[in-house]
Amino acid sequence: MAAPLIRIEVITPERTVLWDRTESIIAPALDGYLGIQANHAPMVAGLRAGVLFYGPVGAEKRRMAISGGFLEVADNHVTILADTAELAHEIDVERAERALRRAEKRLRDFSSDVDRIRAEFALNRAMARLQAAGRKVY
Amino acid sequence: MAGQSMRDLKRRIRGVRSTQQITRAMEMVAAAKLRRAQQQLTTGLPFTEKLETILSRVVQHRDVLQRKDAVHPLLAVREPARVLYVVVAADRGLAGGYNTNVLRLALATIQEDEREKRVVAVGRRSRDFLLRRGIELYNEGLQSNYIYVGDELSYEESRFVTRYIADMYIRGEVDEVIIIHNVFLTAASYRPTVTRLLPIEPEHFIREERDAAGDRDEDEEEPLIYVPSAEQVLSVLIPRYFDIRVYSLLLGAKAAEQGARMLAMRNATENAEEMIEQLTLSFNRARQDSITTEISEIVGGANALAGGE
């Protein structure tokens, strides 16, 4: 029997990226991946840059790259507010790869804390995009 | 004589008409850009609303605000000894009173303030005006002596501005941030406004939300789960709230600018039309005069001939 469905809505300041129904969602929360299915208790969670999965329980899921934000669960409705969000097929892999190399270089070169933190964030965003696009990233 | 002025009039009509073509084109361009900015504002609304709703709930949660400074540095309230002014105007003129009004307000506000201050200009007109009035512009870390915000403002670009402002506050270089900008009201109206951006006062949300959430809280006894904690969620929300606030503020200023330009250009086009009518009238009159003169000369000549017979 198919699992009950929940609403998933992904919005950024510039557009609504996704508006759909799905069985389950796995989101990159600040302290690790978070799984959500129907009838989840009301919740607000902070998200880091990473891959968001959604789809049927126990089967292949769709992937989306998000670059930080937060998520709200209320009445079987999951709202994800992200700075940017891209569906797997929308991702510009070459650009993400360039960003990844740039961030890696910065991490090696820069010493100031602020620069390091920024480079790390950029690195995480690039990795999230590449992973969502199906690339292997180590 | 009449011929000369007729040629002049013809040239002037042609000149005014080509100016009119330009103003008409500018009006249409401004109208298109206005639509775009308005659309951007509208698409941003769901994000903003959701963010504010959640923010208000988190803020009301237990005692997250007891130790505000620890939650996020943008909430830290300090003795406002040093202030940062951000003055937003357009890059170009030909927008009626759009630049003048807001810049005059900015100048008055800045000159009245006797505290230690920094002034950052957004838009070329803002820079030109402030420098001319002897206001020193702060531009440490900027590529130019002002912040350029193109006609098509993306969230990403706006976050550059946000980060620039927020960093100054977080490093403790300024204790208060005030932005002076035009608020978009309708396509034909805007209001120059002084807004305090930082520190963020989360108490505002509580009051706003109390009325709206008054009955909801009674129905919905189920408490929210915060992952990993209410404080951490708040520390994710606060910078986003600031980002989106500055973003919608800059978008609003853009929309106001395009609206003002559209209106100014429409007036210019209409004035040109009026001028063309006037000139055409003069031209016709001059032509009529010259014909009348010619006829009377001919008639006079004919009469003279007839009289001489």
- CA B185 → CA A67, B38, B182, B253, B254, distances in Å? 33, 11, 9, 10, 12
- Contact between B47 and A12 using a beta-carbon 8 Å cutoff: yes
pLDDT over 70 at B211, yes or no: no
Task: Give me the pLDDT at residue B226, please.
Answer: 87
- Contact between A13 and B235 using a beta-carbon 8 Å cutoff: no
Residues of A in contact with B227 (CB under 8 A): 29-31, 34, 43-46
Alpha-carbon gap, residue A48 to A29, rounded angstroms: 6
> Do residues A53 and A71 both lie within one domain?
yes
> Do residues B163 and B126 both lie within one domain?
yes
Burial profile A82-114: b = 16 or more Cβ within 10 angstroms, e = fewer: bbbbbbeeebeeeebbebbeebeebeeeeeeee
Q: What is the mean pLDDT of chain B?
A: 86
- Count helices and strands in chain A by DSSP H and E runs: 2, 8
The tokens describing B154, both together, are 């993306």
Cβ atoms within 10 A of the Cβ of B98, count? 26
> Do residues B148 and B50 both lie within one domain?
yes
Q: Which of A79-88, B226-235, B260-269, B300-309 has the lowest mean pLDDT?
A: B300-309
> Do residues A71 and A14 both lie within one domain?
yes
Q: Which structural domain, as residue segments, surrounds residue A57?
A: 6-88
Identify which has the larger pLDDT, B60 or B156.
B156
pLDDT over 60 at A23, yes or no: yes
Picking from B77, B69, B84, B56, the residue whose alpha carbon sits closest to that of residue B204 is B56
Alpha-carbon gap, residue A8 to B163, rounded angstroms: 30
Identify whether A114 is part of a domain: yes
Identify whether B219 is part of a domain: no
Alpha-carbon gap, residue B9 to B14, rounded angstroms: 9
Amino acid (1-letter code) at residue A15: R
List pLDDT tens digits, range B115-130: 999 999 999 999 999 9
> Do residues B196 and B49 both lie within one domain?
yes
Residue B43 distance to chain A (closest CA, Å)? 6
- Contact between B224 and A114 using a beta-carbon 8 Å cutoff: no
Confidence of residue B276 (pLDDT cuts 50, 70, 90): very high
> Do residues B82 and B16 both lie within one domain?
no
Alpha-carbon gap, residue B85 to B119, rounded angstroms: 5
Q: Which of A81, A84, A86, A92 to mutate to test the interface with B (most CBs of B within 10 A)?
A: A81
Identify whether A34 is part of a domain: yes
> Do residues B155 and B277 both lie within one domain?
no
> Do residues A84 and A95 both lie within one domain?
no
Q: What is the mean pLDDT of residues B3-22?
A: 87
Q: How many domains is chain B partitioned into structurally?
A: 2
> Residue B250 belongs to a domain with what CATH number?
3.40.1380.10
Confidence of residue B219 (pLDDT cuts 50, 70, 90): very low
Identify whether A57 is part of a domain: yes
Paired residues of B184 in beta bridges: B190
B167 touches chain A (CB under 8 A): yes
Residue B71 distance to chain A (closest CA, Å)? 14
Residue of A nearest to B42 (CA): A14
Identify whether A37 is part of a domain: yes
List pLDDT tens digits, range B136-145: 999 888 888 8
Picking from B202, B187, B197, B198, the residue whose alpha carbon sits closest to that of residue B252 is B187
Q: How many domains is chain A partitioned into structurally?
A: 2
Q: How far does chain A reach from its first CA to its final CA, in angstroms?
A: 37
> Do residues B115 and B189 both lie within one domain?
yes
Confidence of residue A123 (pLDDT cuts 50, 70, 90): confident
Q: Which long-range contacts (CB under 8 A, 24 or more apart) does B106-113 make?
A: B106/B130, B106/B180, B107/B133, B107/B135, B109/B85, B109/B178, B109/B180, B109/B194, B110/B85, B110/B135, B113/B83, B113/B85
Q: Which structural domain, as residue segments, surrounds residue B180?
A: 32-206+224-261
**Residues in A lying within 8 Å of B, measured between beta carbons:** 11-16, 29-31, 34, 41-47, 68-70, 72, 79, 81, 83-84, 114
> Do residues B136 and B173 both lie within one domain?
yes
> Do residues B232 and B101 both lie within one domain?
yes
Identify whether A1 is part of a domain: no
The tokens describing A113, both together, are 């804390």
List pLDDT tens digits, range B25-82: 999 999 999 999 999 999 888 898 888 888 888 877 666 666 666 678 888 888 999 9
> Do residues A81 and A97 both lie within one domain?
no
Picking from B178, B154, B152, the residue whose alpha carbon sits closest to that of residue B165 is B178
Residues of B in contact with A72 (CB under 8 A): 50, 54
Identify whether A138 is part of a domain: no
> Do residues A80 and A123 both lie within one domain?
no
- ipTM for the complex shown: 0.81
- CA A11 → CA B43, B76, B309, distances in Å? 9, 29, 99
> Do residues B278 and B296 both lie within one domain?
yes
